């Protein structure tokens, strides 16, 4: 019997509604602090500017924060986040992998536009594991696409 | 320890390790707040038990964010062109994680010399939790 799984596979090819998020200094400092970042470009405006940056720099995995902010922005306009779109079930959900391609840095004060596209669904272990591949972009109006993200999420079933 | 500059790095060169933990519940709560990932499986013991698990477990992205620093503390954030990892096993509360990196490739792409750095996060009992890689500009 073909596995049915929990994801809504009819969403393949769909893209979330584009939303804008603002990168805040305080959030960068908080995030960098929890991760134990030691480079002051994430926490000290003076250190960031001394290196020629216009403001605090976002750490490499700050995309996660951007996405969470985008999900909140989507909720405010009554639109589904990517995890809602594909119907993630947090009782079974695991993170398979995450990958970022960086075209340029993200700074505090940036407004970025985020979208996520449902790329594909697939199964492993006879349907005991079902996966979704999501592809996201964070773009700046003048500097273009800054981060391309790819993620595989999975439901562990049975 | 003597450090190899990215401009001189060759396959086989190792980067300084980075250790963190033991991972506390406080860290998980703070990571949930800082990242915006509020999945209760990482912070709510009642939810984890209702889902059939003995305990909450760590956000993979917490280790991911530390693993990236093996590359960035070595080369600087401005050289990082790509970073990614697979979550190969679950990181448990109280785990102590060691993150390590090794240059595996040096190649040209779009007129830029890049280094591929293999990265791995390992728990105190030898269990690998994340395997990944970074792409770093050599100069």
* Residue range B1-21: mean pLDDT, rounded: 91
Task: Let me know if residue A3 belongs to a domain.
Answer: no
The share of chain B scoring above pLDDT 70, in percent, equals 99
pLDDT of residue A62: 98
* Residue range B121-135: mean pLDDT, rounded: 98
pLDDT of residue A109: 98
* Residue range B18-34: mean pLDDT, rounded: 98
Q: How many CB pairs under 8 A join A and B?
A: 104
- Say if residue B92's pLDDT is above 50: yes
Task: Let me know if residue A1 belongs to a domain.
Answer: no
Q: Is A96 on the interface with B (CB under 8 A)?
A: yes
B77 chain-A contacts, CB cut-off 8 A = 39, 41, 57, 59-60, 105
3-state secondary structure of B109: strand
Q: CA–CA separation, B72 vs B31, rounded Å?
A: 20
Domain CATH number, residue A72? 3.10.129.10
Residue ranges per structural domain of chain B: 6-137
Query: What is the distance of C-alpha B25 from the center of its chain?
Result: 19
pLDDT band at B2 (very low <50, low <70, confident <90, very high): low
The answer to whether residues A95 and B87 touch, using CB atoms and an 8 Å cutoff, is yes
**pTM of the complete model:** 0.95
CB contact under 8 A, A35 and B65: yes
- Say if residue B17's pLDDT is above 90: yes
Q: CA–CA separation, A46 vs B93, rounded Å?
A: 36
- Integer Rg of chain A from CA: 17
The answer to whether residues B14 and B119 touch, using CB atoms and an 8 Å cutoff, is no
pLDDT of residue B111: 94
Q: CA–CA separation, A83 vs A118, rounded Å?
A: 10
Per the structure, the count of domains in chain A is 1
Task: Let me know if residue A125 belongs to a domain.
Answer: yes
Superfamily of B6-137 according to CATH: Hotdog Thioesterase (3.10.129.10)
CB contact under 8 A, A102 and B69: no
Q: Is B64 on the interface with A (CB under 8 A)?
A: yes
Mean of pLDDT over chain A: 96
The share of chain A scoring above pLDDT 70, in percent, equals 98
pLDDT band at A158 (very low <50, low <70, confident <90, very high): confident
* Residue range A133-144: mean pLDDT, rounded: 98
* Residue range B119-136: mean pLDDT, rounded: 98
Q: CA–CA separation, B91 vs B57, rounded Å?
A: 6
Model pLDDT for residues A22-37, shown as the tens digit of each residue: 999 999 999 999 999 9
Residue A13: which domain range? 9-156
Task: Let me know if residue A44 belongs to a domain.
Answer: yes
- Say if residue A1's pLDDT is above 60: no
Q: CA–CA separation, A38 vs A52, rounded Å?
A: 18
Q: And the tokens for B5?
A: 């500059």
Task: Let me know if residue A124 belongs to a domain.
Answer: yes
């Amino acid at each position: 019997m073909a596995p049915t799984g929990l994801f809504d596979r009819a969403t393949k090819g769909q893209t979330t509604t584009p939303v804008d998020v603002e990168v805040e200094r305080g959030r960068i400092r908080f995030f960098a602090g929890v991760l134990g970042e030691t480079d002051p470009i994430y926490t000290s405006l003076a250190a960031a500017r001394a290196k020629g940056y216009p403001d605090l720099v976002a750490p490499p995995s700050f995309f996660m924060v951007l996405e969470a902010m985008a999900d909140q922005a989507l909720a405010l306009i009554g639109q589904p986040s990517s995890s809602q779109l594909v119907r993630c079930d947090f009782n079974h959900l695991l993170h398979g992998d995450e990958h970022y391609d960086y075209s340029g840095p993200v700074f505090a004060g940036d407004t970025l536009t985020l979208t996520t596209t449902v790329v594909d669904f697939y199964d492993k272990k006879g349907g005991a594991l079902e996966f979704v591949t999501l592809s996201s972009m964070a773009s700046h109006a003048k500097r273009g696409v800054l981060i391309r993200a790819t993620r595989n999420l999975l439901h562990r079933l049975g | 320890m003597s450090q190899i500059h990215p401009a001189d790095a060759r396959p086989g060169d190792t980067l300084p390790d980075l250790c963190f933990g033991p991972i506390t519940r406080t860290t998980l709560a703070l990571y949930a707040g800082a990242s915006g990932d509020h999945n209760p499986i990482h912070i709510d013991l009642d939810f984890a038990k209702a889902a059939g698990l003995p305990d909450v477990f760590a956000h993979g992205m917490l280790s991911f964010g530390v693993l990236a620093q093996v590359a960035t503390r070595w080369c600087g954030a401005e050289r990082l062109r790509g970073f990614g990892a697979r979550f190969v096993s679950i990181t448990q509360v109280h785990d102590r994680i060691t993150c390590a990196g090794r240059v595996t490739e040096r190649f040209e792409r779009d007129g830029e010399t890049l280094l591929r750095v293999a990265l791995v996060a390992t728990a105190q009992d030898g269990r690998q939790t994340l395997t990944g890689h970074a792409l770093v500009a050599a100069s």
